Amino acid sequence: MAALPPTVVIDEPRTNLGASGGAPPPAKGGGGDDSGDFSSLPFAARLRRARLGMAVAVSGIVMIFISFASAYLVRQGLPTLDVRTGTLIHDWIWLQLPNLVLINTAVLLISSLAMELARRQATRELAEAEISVKHQGQISWLALTVALGLSFLAGQLIVWRELAASGFYLGTSPSSSFVYLLTGMHGIHLLGGVLALLVAGAASLLRRPVSSRLVVLDVTGWYWHFMAFLWVCILCLLEFAR
């Protein structure tokens, strides 16, 4: 009796063409619709993400200035070796900051108030949807904030010139080095805030949507308030931490 050959089962490739018969749709990630363009997100999600990014950046700045302040406090009481006499001496020289520093502080605090008014005005625009009525007012508050910020930076340059005229340069003593370092680092970060304000002003001039302008103003405003608070902390450190 002839034996039948074994049955061979050939697996055909499976295709999932979907209803239209075309290529299968790409798999979507777990992020949903907000995994792509930032501008397509709802306003609350954009504002939350922008604030989170600002908080991360501010945390890094805080750590930098905490390290500088710690080194400033520790270095005050440390003696140094005098190579000429071979003895330990204290080379820390207390600096009397010019009175212009107080005027600069007042200018920066007023600019922080102007920034808050611009931020709140944009919030009212979003709530009332009256862009054309309040557009120019917002530009004026932003312009005032930028002008005051640049005035503060110019005043700090004048303070540096007065210190140099008094004989206190960057390498005069450890105390003068810390003064230039702390105030200079703050000025650099504040200049970054001025650039962010210019971006916010450009968004207003280009008639961007109110929600987009509010995101920029909100994040820039909180950063500007932080820089004003940081300057007050630096001033208290230089004046009272002795």
* Domains (range + CATH), the chain: 55-76+92-240 (1.20.120.80)
Residues with Cβ < 8 Å from 86, sequence gap 6 or more? none
User: How far apart are alpha carbons 140 and 144 in whole angstroms?
Assistant: 6
The H or E element spanning position 3 is none
The alpha carbon torsion through 171, 176, 180, 183 (nearest 10 deg) reads 170
Query: In the chain, which residue ranges form alpha helices assigned H by DSSP?
Result: 43-76, 100-128, 131-165, 174-205, 210-240
Q: What is the pLDDT along the chain (242 residues), one digit of tens a residue?
A: 444 444 444 444 444 444 444 444 444 444 444 444 455 567 788 888 988 999 999 999 999 999 999 999 888 877 776 667 767 777 788 888 899 999 999 999 999 999 998 888 777 776 665 444 444 444 588 889 999 999 999 999 999 999 999 888 888 888 889 999 999 999 999 999 999 888 888 877 777 776 777 888 889 999 999 999 999 999 999 988 76
Question: Rounded to an integer, what is the distance from CA 227 to the centroid of its chain?
Answer: 8
Model-level pTM?
A: 0.75
Considering only CA atoms, which of 181, 192, 182, 159 is closest in space to residue 232?
182
